[in-house]
Structures are given as C-alpha cells and as structure tokens.
C-alpha cells in the first residue's frame, strides 16, 4: 500500500447503533497514525494520535485501534448520536510533520 | 481553548493575480503547515515550516508558492500568479509535538 485508504466512503447509522470503519496506510517507515473528526465549515478536530502497534485510544464513545505490522487502524463509535455525524479523516506520517490523508469516511447518524 | 484562525474564509481572485492567505497559529506552537484540498480529492500536504525556514515541501509547492512568518503571530501562504487549478480549500495547521491543530480553511476560487 502506497496511499492512505479509508473505507467505506460513507455510511448511514441509526441513532443508538454502533459502527466502525477502517484506515489502511503504508506500514513501511511508519511513525504515527492520526484520526480527525471534521464537520463542514469547521476545523478538523484531532481525535487521536497513535504510534505503537496494538495501541488503543478512547475518547468518550469513540475509540481507535492500531496495527502497524499490517498497516490498518479501526475507528469505533459506540451508541451513535446525531452529533457524531461528520467526516472522519485518518492520516499517517513517517516522521513529525507531513501528514498523508485518506479521503475520509462520511458518517450520517439518523434519529 | 486556543485555536488556529485563518482569514479570509473565502477569497475570489482572477487568474494571474497574487493572493496571500493568512493564518494565526496557536501561540506557543513552533511547527507550521499548509495543506490544501481540491474539491473531491484528498487533503494534501504543501509545506512545513520551522525555525523560520521551510523544513519540507511537496512537489506541488513550486516557485509560485511561498510562505512567511512576518511577525511573531502570523503565518502566510502566498501564491504569486494564481492558476485555475489552484482553486481549493487551503488549511493552515500548527503543532508543538505530534498533534497538528487545523484552522477552518480558506476557500480560494480562481476565476
């Protein structure tokens, strides 16, 4: 894998349901994996930065895992709420600095 | 909470004109970045800046682009002679360590 890829491109979730989606990234020269939450017309909001294989991070109902050997990360949303509707971006870096972004997963939570 | 601010939120310019996009990073941050997102494409890295000089730049960042930190608070991106393909959302980010904090972006429309 040369690029950062996210799937699915979009998903619709019923309020209260849990969901997850994937980020694949180049595993060679890996330094860190970043997750951002981005609402239209707002700044992308940093959710997690993970560096170690097996890392798990949690922020409220959102959590993320990291597998650096196979080059993937999952983001989980437990008990989705309408305010979770956003585009979730992942980005990998090979050092401090330059982030290589995926195209994002757009999440729509319907009441 | 400290935030990265960008002005203007939308800039319209004629092809061939010079534009300056402005950013005020978070005050104690030392690393600064510009990214852009062309409509329908991924967010892509343009340039990083540290200690008053460019630390890394992408192949997009050619001689038409320049960055400057003219005083202690502002960080600017100048496009010398805009082209139609420069139309994009431009994001500024700053960091003191691993996490990059983004502004809400400036939408540049080149006519």
Residues A26 and B97: their CA atoms lie apart, in Å, by 22
**Confidence (pLDDT) at A93:** 93
At CB < 8 Å, which residues of chain B contact A? 3-4, 31, 33, 35, 41-45, 48, 55-56, 58, 91, 95, 97-105
Tell me the pLDDT tens digit for each residue of A21-60.
999 999 888 999 999 999 989 999 999 999 999 999 999 9
DSSP secondary structure string for all residues of B93-104:
EEESSS--EE--
Tell me the pLDDT tens digit for each residue of A76-94.
999 999 999 999 999 999 8
Window A:15-74, CB contacts with B under 8 Å: 32, 34, 36, 41-44, 46, 49, 51
Which comes out higher in pLDDT, residue A72 or B1?
A72
Identify the residue whose tokens are 């979770």.
Answer: A84
User: What does the pLDDT average to over B87-109?
Assistant: 96
């Amino acid at each position: 894998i040369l690029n950062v890829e996210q799937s699915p491109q979009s998903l619709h979730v019923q309020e209260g349901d849990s969901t997850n989606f994937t980020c694949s990234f180049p595993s060679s020269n890996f330094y860190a994996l970043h997750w951002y939450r981005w609402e239209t017309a707002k700044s992308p909001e940093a959710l997690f930065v993970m560096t170690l294989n097996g890392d798990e991070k949690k922020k409220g109902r959102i959590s993320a895992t990291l597998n650096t050997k196979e080059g993937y990360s999952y983001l989980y949303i437990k008990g989705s709420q309408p305010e979770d509707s956003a585009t979730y971006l992942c980005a990998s870096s090979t050092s401090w600095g330059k982030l290589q972004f995926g195209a994002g997963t757009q999440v729509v939570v319907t009441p | 909470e400290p935030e990265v601010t960008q002005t203007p939120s939308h800039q319209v310019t004629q092809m061939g004109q010079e534009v300056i996009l402005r950013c005020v990073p978070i005050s104690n941050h030392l690393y600064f970045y510009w990214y852009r997102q062309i409509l329908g494409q991924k967010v892509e890295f343009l340039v990083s800046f540290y200690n008053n000089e460019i630390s890394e730049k992408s192949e997009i960042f050619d001689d038409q682009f320049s960055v400057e930190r003219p005083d202690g608070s502002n960080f600017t991106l100048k496009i010398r002679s805009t082209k139609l393909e420069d139309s994009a959302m431009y994001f500024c980010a700053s960091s003191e360590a691993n996490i990059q904090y983004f502004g809400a972006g400036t939408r540049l429309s080149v006519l």
